[in-house]
Every structure is written in structure tokens, then in C-alpha cells.
């Protein structure tokens, strides 16, 4: 279950470093500014951006508090838990949204705490071929664009970590190759996500995260 957090939360910031499940002041500020910026867009743009990230992340982070009595983030389900048919339809819809030509909708949008759309597409494709990753790259995503808050690039995603189980190795090699073919720079620290918070349980995956500072893009699930 993902942590509940809303940009509408105006409580005083209290020693957040003592609570790794709490976003940092920088992350809160980014989240608030992002939602404020989106709220100034026309309704069609807002609707498409909301749908785009709901499909790729499995969450609706633009939900109003009234949309869900208990959670300010509405949970759907992550792409890696969907059927092949569901994933195919998702990819088709995302491609349609990104090719809509609507002002403000692009493959280089960022999510709640600064994660790029491409970063989240890599998570969507966990344990699967690089279907959504390919869609986002074909739509013009910058393969080197860093996350806005922690500065990690797509090729540094913990979802591409060499520590994953053998069954995933072929998929991860494919994804890394796809990113490199799209212009991603080969970095000396590709497994950058290992320095973040420990993730929620995934099938036989443990990235060994030890950093006490919360970062949504280093720990995209918990």
C-alpha cells in the first residue's frame, strides 16, 4: 500500500528526517507546485495528464480528497500486475494521449515527486518486456532527463538493478539497451536506486536500500 499524502496537507513540517515515510520539504514543495501548475491548465489537458499518470503509475495522484474517503491517493494497480491484454490496451491509450497534440501533454511530464514519465514507464514494465518504455520513448521522452528532485536518470532506475532475479535479467538487459539506443548515457552508477528506501515486497526482489531519507523516485513502491 502506498503512503497517503496530499499537496493539500498544510500541517507544519516536523522533523521529517526522523520519519522516512514522510516526503522531504523539497518533495512536498515540488508536489504542491506541480499540482498548482496543472490546475491552471485547461480541463482537457488536466484530464489527459491525470489519465496518463493513472495508467502508467497505477495511482491517481490528482484525486480530490472527496474522491476517496480514506486515501488522498487513489490506488488502481501497477502495470506489472496487469494481464497482457490490459497492458496492450494501456500502451495503445498512452500512445494515443501522447500523440493527441494537446498543449501541455508530452512524454517529458513529471509525476508527484519529480519522477519523469519514462522513469515510471520502466516501473510499469517490471517483469515484462519494455512495452510502455518503448511507447514513451517513441513519443519523444528524453532518455537522459533526470528526475526533478533526486536527479536520477532512467538508466539508474532500481527496476533495472542487476540484483533482480534471473527471470528478469533478459527483460532488464532489453530495457537498458533500449534506453541506450535512445541516447541514454551509460553511467558509472546505473543502480542508483539502491541508495534509497527499501521497497514494498516484490517477487523475490530486494534492492538492499538503506538510506534513511525518503525519496519517492528512489523508492517508488513501499
Q: Is residue 40 part of a domain?
A: yes
Alpha carbon distance 83, 151 (integer Å): 32
Q: Is residue 129 part of a domain?
A: yes
Q: Is residue 206 part of a domain?
A: no
Res 207 pLDDT > 90: no
Q: For residues 114 and 147, is the Cβ–Cβ distance under 8 A?
A: yes
Res 150 pLDDT > 60: yes
Q: For residues 50 and 42, is the Cβ–Cβ distance under 8 A?
A: no
Range in 67-81, 127-141, 165-179, 189-203 the model is least confident about: 189-203
Whole-number Cα distances in Å, 196 to 18, 68, 127: 15, 29, 21
User: What is the per-residue pLDDT across 38-50, written as a single tens digit (0 to 9) for each?
Assistant: 999 999 999 999 9
Q: Is residue 200 part of a domain?
A: no
Alpha carbon distance 128, 167 (integer Å): 10
How many CB atoms are closer than 10 A to CB 81? 12
Interval 106-134 mean pLDDT: 95
How much is the pLDDT for 75?
53
Instruction: For residue 98, give its domain range.
Output: 20-140+151-195
How much is the pLDDT for 23?
81
Q: Is residue 222 part of a domain?
A: no
The answer for residues whose C-beta is within 8 angstroms of residue 198's C-beta and 6 or more apart is 206, 207, 208, 209, 210, 219, 222
Q: Which residue has the higher pLDDT, 72 or 156?
A: 156
The answer for residues whose C-beta is within 8 angstroms of residue 170's C-beta and 6 or more apart is none
Q: Which residue has the higher pLDDT, 26 or 222?
A: 26
Specify the DSSP class assigned to residue 182. T
Q: Into how many domains does the chain fold?
A: 1
Query: For residue 42, what is the enclosing H or E element?
Result: none
Q: Which residue has the higher pLDDT, 96 or 205?
A: 96
Q: Is residue 131 part of a domain?
A: yes
pTM exceeds cut of 0.95: no
Kindly state the cell numbers that stand for 140.
519523444
How many CB atoms are closer than 10 A to CB 68? 14
How much is the pLDDT for 137?
98
DSSP letter for each residue of 55-110 = HHHSEETT--GGG-SS-SSEE---GGGS-HHHHHHHHHHHHHHHTS--TT--TT-B
Q: Is residue 107 part of a domain?
A: yes
How much is the pLDDT for 202?
30
Range in 2-6, 84-88, 163-167 the model is least confident about: 2-6
Interval 5-33 mean pLDDT: 60
User: What is the per-residue pLDDT across 66-99, written as a single tens digit (0 to 9) for each?
Assistant: 444 443 344 557 888 899 999 999 999 999 999 9
Length of the chain in terms of residues written: 222
Q: Is residue 13 part of a domain?
A: no
Amino acid at each position: 500500500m502506498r503512503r497517503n499524502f496530499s499537496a493539500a496537507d498544510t500541517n507544519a513540517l516536523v522533523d521529517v528526517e526522523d520519519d522516512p515515510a514522510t516526503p522531504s520539504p523539497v518533495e512536498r514543495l515540488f508536489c504542491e507546485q506541480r499540482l498548482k501548475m496543472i490546475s491552471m491548465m485547461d480541463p482537457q489537458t488536466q484530464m489527459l495528464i491525470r489519465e496518463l499518470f493513472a495508467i502508467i503509475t497505477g495511482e491517481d495522484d490528482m484525486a480530490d480528497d472527496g474522491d476517496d474517503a480514506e486515501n488522498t491517493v487513489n490506488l488502481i494497480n501497477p502495470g506489472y500486475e496487469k494481464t497482457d491484454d490490459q497492458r496492450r490496451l494501456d500502451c495503445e491509450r498512452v500512445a494515443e494521449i501522447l500523440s493527441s497534440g494537446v498543449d501541455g501533454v508530452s512524454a517529458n511530464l513529471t509525476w508527484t515527486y519529480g519522477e519523469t514519465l519514462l522513469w515510471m514507464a520502466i516501473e510499469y514494465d517490471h517483469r515484462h518486456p519494455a512495452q510502455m518504455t518503448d511507447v514513451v520513448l517513441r513519443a519523444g521522452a528524453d532518455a537522459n532527463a533526470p528526475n526533478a528532485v533526486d536527479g536520477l536518470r532512467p538508466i539508474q532506475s532500481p527496476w533495472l538493478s542487476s540484483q533482480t532475479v534471473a527471470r528478469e535479467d533478459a527483460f532488464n538487459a532489453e530495457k537498458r539497451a533500449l534506453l541506450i539506443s535512445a541516447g541514454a548515457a551509460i553511467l558509472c552508477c546505473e543502480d542508483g536506486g539502491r541508495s534509497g528506501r527499501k521497497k514494498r515486497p516484490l517477487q523475490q526482489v530486494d534492492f538492499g536500500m538503506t538510506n534513511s531519507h525518503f525519496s519517492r523516485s528512489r523508492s517508488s513502491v513501499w
